[in-house]
Copies of this chain bind each other. A is one copy, B any other.
Amino acid sequence: MSETELHEPQAQPESELDEDDRLKPEFVSAVLEAVAAGDSETAHARVAPLHPADIADLVELTPAELRPALAAAISDLIDGDVLAEMNDWVREALVDALEPHQVADIAAELDTDDAVAIIEDMEPEDQREVLRALDPDDRAAIEEALSYPEETAGRLMQRELIAVPEHWTVGDVLDYLRGHDELATDFWEIFVVDPAHHPVGTCALSWILRTPRNVSVSDVMAREQTLIPADMDQEEVALRFQKYALISAAVVDANGRLVGMITVDDVVHIISEEAGEDILHLSGAGEGDINEPVLDSYKVRVRWLVTNLATALIPATIVFFFEATIAQMAVLAALMPIVAGVGGNAGTQTLAVTVRALATNQLTQSNTLRAIRREIAIAVLNGLTIAAVIGLAIGTVFWDHELGIVIACAMLANIVIAGLAGVLVPVTLERFEQDPAVASSVFVTMVTDSMGFLAFLGLATAAGLVGN
């Protein structure tokens, strides 16, 4: 096949990468030293065998002040594939440094989606200049893509696809593909369209390959297919690809006509961006799956709460060191951050689980009540355990059972409130079509801090712990 087609699955030279497929630091510094020393030839020779994704990584790993020199040394290697793989910010800076006709040359060799990604962030003036420098077909394709709102299927799609009429046979398809060198080279299914260019079916390439020449494509194709409206938000596109395990899908305009194709490699980075279990790890909620049995969730979470309880003792101890400063009832001031802090951790756990379940469409109106009941159950179990531990510890250390009971009750109350807030706040935000991940945390922290202090200090006062 042609060079471009061999380009895609080209392997990385193993020796320059560590076991996690990252460029080795020795390699990066060797290249950068050569660049800094003005030895462009050595730099070029080292970089040339790399995969485009690794060249993009190298540019990202280069300090900003050295990037122009690196780019100059390897300018012929920084092609469209490299730019398509590059971080948005780094690419933008590189592209800004290029002349519009250079950008046009690069854009012309790319699929529409990659060309759009490079051009869409340019200044309007520069963008117009690049478009003028493109040949009319490429310009029309890119201008159409830019006519769709940002972050929609219309921007993500490539116009390069194979569409054939329903009356063709498998043999017609093979002859057509073999006879037209200008057609798309990387595609995974063929779309069957009616005369008005509405999709009527789809054939995976493997079905075509396994079918004799004389069979009609209408006998091979699947009539049901997942169609993506061009104005669909890219997050929904990503969720749809994920849900139906799609490799590629047809994009249709408002009139239902086939206008493009999205392939899974273009949405993988969106899926990766939209997802997120780091928050689960950071909040110590284990797997954080809403179908996990209550006792299992309890075990994972209570262990974390005990850890947090232990570490919360250290800042509290420091406050306690300033007893003379805080005077009279310093003990309360030292203990109150524990009540607030552990409550905050409990709230964050619930929040993380809820946000995750909402993001993956696992938590819907159909099971919200169940999720709330489940979170309350876990919160009560967590609260009882932590209350017992802290109540006994404080009651013993201070030899004051009233103080122990007060902190235990405050802790139980705050953890239950934290659990409620952690599920109700994001669910309510989602119901009002706000992103639950963005605003929930402030509210939940405010609730757990406020209630922690209120419950602890209020109970202490009510119990008459403080001599009036």
Contact = CB atoms under 8 A, between A and B. Distances in A.
B202 A9 contact: yes
Interface stretch (A221-229, A382-390, A396-404): A221-229
Contacts of A186: 204, 206
A453 B318 contact: yes
Given A242-B268, A325-B460, A236 B282 contact: no
Contact of A329 (B269, B327, B452): B327
A113 to B, nearest CB: 12
Given A242-B269, A291-B60, A332-B325, A319 B453 contact: yes
A329 B454 CA distance: 18
Contacts of A90: 291
Contacts of A450: 314-315, 318
Which of the four size classes fits the interface of chain A? 35 or more
Interface in A241-284: 241-247, 263-265, 268-269, 271-284
A131 to B, nearest CB: 26
B205 A206 contact: yes
B352 A340 contact: no
Given A20-B239, A337-B340, A282 B315 contact: no
Interface string A183-215: 111111100000000000010111111111000
B206 A188 contact: yes
B265 A268 contact: no
Which of A88, A327, A366 has its CB near the most chain B CB atoms (within 10 A)?
A: A366
Nearest to A265: B245
Nearest 4 interchain pairs by C-beta: A276-B276, A315-B449, A327-B328, A276-B278
